[in-house]
Amino acid sequence: MKPPLHIGLAMLALAVALTFCPAAQAWQNGSSARSVGGPTVQQWILAQAVSQAVRSGTDWVDLDAALGTVGLPDTVVHDYRYHQYMPWKGGHKGAAPERTAVYFALVRDALQKGDTATASRLLGMLTFYYTDATDPLHTGACRAEGHMHRSFELRVMARLNARGPFERNVQAALASSDATNEVADSARVASAGQDVAAFTASSSARAHLDYRRLVRGYRRHVFTPVSRRIAASTLERSVKGIATLIEA
């Protein structure tokens, strides 16, 4: 794993991750998410990913410590350039993959020093950047999205907190993939650890394939079967991605 190129950024990341802050609210953060209550979408993803990693034999994460830092990029850091990654004028706009790679390097450095508490807090920050990059609504931009972005993210959060069929279906899909993809996942872990920015960018590109369909479908018909399927597949891929980075 290559170390971060900008030592000032690395030190800033470490300082922020060590700052005490109450458990954050995400995908939506702050007051809008507190109105829903319970864990946020990104906290849910992280908890599921840690469970997957434990089943694979990786158990260094202090989950409570990691959950407490997940929303800091929204509530404290406000580094919005790193909260998206989308095709833009022949290139890309946003830098979520680069920031994910910075935090991965910091996590790995802390683990090499035997400091699992710091590594866990840094993992919470990493989770934010990776899962923002893999949220379809952070991979594109159009006027119609402005009418549904917040509503969609809050609705997904509410469905997860309802502990009903939506959450159970995602968990069942995750359990099924656990049982069938052991060899493929080993190769995926090795590849991801070699280039985290590329791994995140690739995950974001897959999420972007759902962007227009999600915006059109949700805006016109609220939470349709199509938007539910996109939400569920997004959660499943995000959990697998974070689990991969925990194990890498």
pLDDT (tens digit, 9 = 90+) per residue, 102-117? 999 999 999 999 999 9
Closest Cα to residue 216, out of 131, 119, 126, 144? Answer: 144
Comparing 70-74, 182-186, 208-212, the range with the smallest average pLDDT is: 182-186
Q: Does 81 score more than 90 pLDDT? A: yes
pLDDT class of 176 with cuts at 50, 70, 90? confident
* Residue 100 pLDDT: 97
pLDDT class of 17 with cuts at 50, 70, 90? very low
Angle between helices 96-112 and 196-208 (to 10 degrees): 140
User: What percentage of the chain exceeds 70 in pLDDT?
Assistant: 81
CA distance 45 to 135: 12
The answer to whether residues 234 and 210 touch, using CB atoms and an 8 Å cutoff, is yes
Q: Does 231 score more than 70 pLDDT? A: yes
SS3 state of residue 92: strand
Comparing 27-31, 141-145, 164-168, the range with the smallest average pLDDT is: 27-31
What mean pLDDT comes out for the span 5-22?
45
